[in-house]
Structure 1
Amino acid sequence: MPLCNKTGRRVALAAMVATGAWGSGAWAQDGTGTTPPPATPVPANAGWDAAPRDPNGTFSLQWENDIFAGTDRYYTNGLQLSWLSSSAPPATLGAVADAASYFLGADSQIRWGLSLGQTIYTPQDTDTRIPDPKDRPYAAFLFGAMSLVSYSEKELNTIELQVGVVGPSALGEEVQNNVHRVIKDDNAEGWDYQIKDEPGINLVFDRKWRAQSLLVTGWDLGVDVTPSVTVSLGNVSTYAGAGAMFRFGQNLSSDFGAPRIRPALAGSGFYDKRDGFGWYLFAGVEGRAVAIDKFLDANNYPGYAPDIDKKILVGDLQAGASVFVGSTRLTYSYVLRTKEFEGQSGNSEFGSVSLSWNF
């Protein structure tokens, strides 16, 4: 029996060596005479999707206005309320994401969202009752939107469907002039010549890639560059765009940049509050090739025929700062937009403020 036991131990030892268990340290002792259990294996592709799911949704309020530039013309006001779900949406939307995996990317976390927004456009001269036919016409767009967001550590994909109305039913005159009365400013006089009511629909796809490098490990400071491409199809806005955002700050992985109202170099409506605190400075540029711009295309205007030639190529340059503390993120952007039509007097300039709550 002793001989058999000794032989059995030798066979077991040889088997361990042959299978690499000895070399892997699986039988290494911790100095107390006991053998610790082997570590849980980590999948080779473990990354963002292996991270804990975010159980919180995000509510955001965005306001864009040219008052920040001291003007009152062209793109003069934008307001949007939006909500994005947690990163564990209903199974029905998971099935939609699987069906759209070619566009959204595989092995990503999914969120879905709802938005309600309005944008307002006026000519440079708002004191004249009959607008200059060579100036930008009065117009507004009131819309609701549903979005599907897919993201990993290095990529963000968004599909957004916007449905709404362009014209008097978009309430551009009521919003602008009532606000002007409150702040004791002059009314815009030419709203009788705005675009007529017409349904509006846009389908937008946006993809961003993020490359990040750490600058100072001890301070958790880093830089990242986020190139992006955007395609919008619809009777309100059809264009193809490309751009990039540069950021410097702390905990950059918490989001993909500052949110904006489209068309714009938009970041992410959500952010990850698990890091507790973060901040960054940013600057970005986007160029768009425009095929349809309902607010400039000379049709469907009552009483007069605007003589406007829109520019095919339009660019945005923006810069600003973002800070998030716990459940709250505050972002400010200043935007310079190149001329959008022939004869436009100067570029459009406006500011954008976004306040988000992660809950």
Structure 2
Amino acid sequence: MKSLFTTLLLGLISLGCFAQSFKNEFGFKTENDAYLATLNDRYYTNGLFIYFRRAIDPAKFSEKVEKKTYEISAGQKMYTPYWGQVAKKEDQDRPFAGYLYAGGAYSIFYKNESVLKTSIELGTVGPNSLAQDAQEFLHKTVGFYTPAGWEYQIKNELAINLAASYSKLLIRSNDNVVDLSGAGYANLGTTFSGLGASVLFRAGRLNQLYNSAYHNAVIGNSKTAALNKSEFFFYLKPQLNVVAYDATIQGSLFNDDSPLTFGVKPIVFEQQFGVNYSSKRFTIDFNIIFKTKEVKSIAKAQNYGGLSLYYRFGKT
């Protein structure tokens, strides 16, 4: 009898930990070149983002759809020349610039492990982005150098940006420890316009794309059971970008009067390496990104790291 009671108790604990699903996810992401400990502080020097996601009731989904979610986000990106303390305009190899936005996104996860995501961001580029204030506050707080040269930053411009991406599983090994997927994206807006394609390689303890933390798809009830109760995998993602416009480098799309602008490199290649752990309740992801030159100047290539933390709540 004691053994039976123990078995039932452990079963209830297991169900409480693993069987439940959550419909909401909240978290943040931070990107900074300081994560690589290279002592560089240049170009895309800092990004901070917060997210709220919610799974949509699956009652009226078509047979082809596994899951749908929507997302609300806000973020700030900060750009500087090769250093955040370049007081003379003629010494700057990239403009100081900031981008502040709020946005929304809608994702559809299909049974065939393809993912369609559309999004819109509204915000501003320029002093109204508060990037200068943010960098000065951050550096003062942690005892870094005092930034200089922000008076030459990209001028204020209303930001309206649309984006769409599509990912599709290409192959997965029979033991479910390695898979390969392809993706493409397109951006159109007053700040960022362009398109690109990538290949994602994952290795480790994986779930289907519609249940995976990589696509922020842990929330919600899936029609198909997840391959694993938790995920832990390494990933590699080479991506080729075609850049049509970048207001943080080129200034306003309409009648720009910024004191310093440059042309953009039309082709930019980036390589991303990362590791992801996800349980039913939590996700932690760390990655590093290496990019080729983005600016038509003496600017060099750049690299930075990103850290994401997410927490899920609200049982379905």
TM-score band w.r.t. shorter chain: 0.7 to 0.9
Equivalent-residue separation in structure 2 for 1:117 and 1:89 (angstroms) = 29
Query: Corresponding residue for 1:83?
Result: 52
- Greater RCO between the two (CA within 8 Å, min separation 6)? 2
One-letter amino acid matched to 1:81: I
Equivalent runs, 1:305-316 vs 2, <5 Å: 305-306=260-261, 308-316=262-270
Q: CA deviation at 1:254?
A: 6.2
3-state SS, counterpart of residue 295 of structure 1: helix
Alignment of 1:225 onto 2:180 = yes
Equivalent-residue separation in structure 2 for 1:55 and 1:345 (angstroms) = 45
Q: Is the 8 A contact 2:289 2:304 kept in 1?
A: yes
Aligned residues: 283
Alignment of 1:140 onto 2:98 = yes
Equivalent-residue separation in structure 1 for 2:98 and 2:216 (angstroms) = 23
Structure number with higher strand proportion: 2
Between 275-284 and 77-86, report the one with greater CA deviation: 275-284
| Superposed structure 1 runs of 4+ greater than 6 Å apart | none
Query: Corresponding residue for 1:34?
Result: none
Equivalent runs, 1:179-190 vs 2, <5 Å: 179-190=138-149
* RMSD (Å), alpha carbons: 2.6
Alpha-carbon spacing, 1:301–1:183, altered in 2? closer, same or farther (3 Å): farther
Equivalent runs, 1:77-116 vs 2, <5 Å: 77-88=46-57, 107-116=65-74
Any idea what the Cα deviations from partners look like across 1:273-317, whole Å, max 9, x if unmatched?
974322000001111111110011155354x343x2210001110
Alpha-carbon spacing, 1:90–1:116, altered in 2? closer, same or farther (3 Å): farther
Could you tell me which of 211, 215, 218 is aligned with 1:271?
218
Unaligned ranges ≥5, structure 1 = 1-51, 99-104, 259-266
Q: CA deviation at 1:270?
A: 3.3
One-letter amino acid matched to 1:211: L
Query: Corresponding residue for 1:238?
Result: 193
Query: Corresponding residue for 1:5?
Result: none
Q: Is the 8 A contact 1:112 1:149 kept in 2?
A: yes
TM-score with structure 1 setting the length = 0.73
Any idea what the Cα deviations from partners look like across 1:174-196, whole Å, max 9, x if unmatched?
11111111111102201111112
Query: Corresponding residue for 1:62?
Result: 29
Query: Corresponding residue for 1:198?
Result: 157
Any idea what the Cα deviations from partners look like across 1:96-149, whole Å, max 9, x if unmatched?
xx9xxxxxx953422111000110000013323233366110000000011111
Q: CA deviation at 1:166?
A: 0.6
Q: CA deviation at 1:215?
A: 5.0
Alpha-carbon spacing, 1:90–1:147, altered in 2? closer, same or farther (3 Å): farther
Unaligned ranges ≥5, structure 2 = 1-18, 221-225
Q: Is the 8 A contact 1:89 1:111 kept in 2?
A: no
Alpha-carbon spacing, 1:251–1:89, altered in 2? closer, same or farther (3 Å): same
Equivalent-residue separation in structure 1 for 2:178 and 2:106 (angstroms) = 27
Equivalent-residue separation in structure 1 for 2:263 and 2:284 (angstroms) = 38
Q: CA deviation at 1:87?
A: 3.4
Any idea what the Cα deviations from partners look like across 1:163-219, whole Å, max 9, x if unmatched?
001111111011111111111110220111111211101100000001342354xxx
Q: Work out which of the two has the higher radius of gyration on C-alpha atoms and give 1 or 2.
A: 1
Query: Corresponding residue for 1:284?
Result: 237
TM-score with structure 2 setting the length = 0.82
